Structure 1
Amino acid sequence: MHLVYGYSRVSSRDQNLETQIDQLKARRCDLIIQEKMTGATFKRPELEKLLKQTQSDDTIVVTRVDRLGRNTQQLLQLVEDLQTRNIHLYIIELGIEATHRNGKLFLTILSALAENERALLTEKRNAGLENAKRKGIKLGRKAKSKAKVDLAIQLWKKGEKTIKEIEESTGVGKSILYREVKKYGLKRE
């Protein structure tokens, strides 16, 4: 029996897989694999498990090319592996079977364009950050006032309030508090 597997992936834990899953269900996938992992990493445990369990003539369906990888080389290696194992790859957004000759050519071109777009966005972001630094604009989170941090430390040292209560009353997060406590080697009274 040949199975159709759907693979859905988002880059961060707070993103939603629902739209991809709906599209994969519409393609009548027998099993839908879900993963929340950045595509920039080569380690995607759920995809790796999926690739191990697929057999000749099975099909893997994804909604978009970038669900499988973030660079052309990574993507083409995957397509080559699937092709060698006679596993079909269907990309919904493109409407193509990527493991066929023409589909592979089209996929190569699109993947290279997407990789180039990511590089351009990175260049633009870095140029914007450099420009902001030249203008003296402070980047990152606003520093907590020294008075609030000092108050949080005093409350922590007394040991009368929980960390959550200290956070709520001073607005100083536990990571800042612990960093300051460690920095000065402070102990509770």
Structure 2
Amino acid sequence: MIIGYARVSTVDQSLDMQLDSLQEYRCDEIFQEKISGAKDDRPELMQALRMARAGDTFVVYKLDRLARSTKRLIEIADILREKEVEFVSIQDKIDTGTAAGKAMFGMLSVLAEFERDIIRERTMAGLKAARARGRKGGRPKVNQQKLNQAVALYHSKRMTVKEISDATGVSSATLYRAVRAEFQH
């Protein structure tokens, strides 16, 4: 079975060009949706992936119709590979049914891993530079005196939580956590 998937980002955009290409490719079933590619929760895409079986071919007009990030593209490609489903991107001329297509997709996978490694290295270098300047990561410590004052004001019921937060600088979440902790002890 040849399964097609078409997507545009907004309801104002037209799927016509993609649908024409997918029909010309002779897709047996075409799933279509008008939703941002940045969203991971795309019902039609999930249904198309669930429908795919070993020996099927999954076809898109262009790679960016399938995913907005290399990471997400590789995740979808892995799903297809595990299911033994071939992948075709018409405009990008990628077809994993050919040796060249498999190689191209393999290179995308390597590039995605490289991208993740670079991001990790930059993050570690940034943290190291911040520590060298005396900065520490994580949340700042709560001023215990202000927290005690905020809890006392909360129990006095003279101020709203927002007023307490504004007056003491203690966030409402921290205040509620402290009050909850009192009842647990």
Q: TM-score w.r.t. structure 1 length? A: 0.59
For residue 142 of structure 1, report the CA deviation from its aligned partner: 4.5
For residue 151 of structure 1, report the CA deviation from its aligned partner: 3.8
Paired residue for 2:66, among 44, 55, 62? 62
Preserved CA contact (<8 Å) 2:74 2:112: no
1:31 alignment partner in structure 2: 32
Unaligned runs of 5+ in 1: 9-17, 38-43
For residue 162 of structure 1, report the CA deviation from its aligned partner: 4.5
Preserved CA contact (<8 Å) 1:89 1:98: yes
State the distance in 2 between where 1:50 and 1:164 align: 47
Preserved CA contact (<8 Å) 1:7 1:32: yes
State the distance in 1 between where 2:147 and 2:71 align: 43
1:78 alignment partner in structure 2: 80
Give the number of equivalent residue pairs.
Answer: 162
State the distance in 2 between where 1:121 and 1:79 align: 26
For residue 109 of structure 1, report the CA deviation from its aligned partner: 0.7
CA shift digits 1:150-181 (9 cap, x unpaired): 44322321234444554455443232112323
State the distance in 1 between where 2:164 and 2:82 align: 56
Preserved CA contact (<8 Å) 1:149 1:172: yes
What is the Cα-based RMSD across aligned positions, in Å? 4.1
Preserved CA contact (<8 Å) 2:7 2:33: yes
Specify the code of the residue in structure 1 equivalent to 2:66.
V
1:116 alignment partner in structure 2: 114
Specify the code of the residue in structure 2 equivalent to 1:31.
Q
Q: TM-score w.r.t. structure 2 length? A: 0.60
Unaligned runs of 5+ in 2: 20-29
Specify the code of the residue in structure 1 equivalent to 2:176.
Y
Preserved CA contact (<8 Å) 2:88 2:95: yes
Alpha carbons of structure 1 residues 69 and 177: separation in structure 2 relative to 1, 3 Å: farther
Secondary structure in 1 aligned to 2:74? coil
CA shift digits 1:76-113 (9 cap, x unpaired): 45236353xx6x44276xx1334332222111112202
Alpha carbons of structure 1 residues 67 and 6: separation in structure 2 relative to 1, 3 Å: farther
1:129 alignment partner in structure 2: 127
CA shift digits 1:119-167 (9 cap, x unpaired): 1220221122123223311334545555543443223212344445544
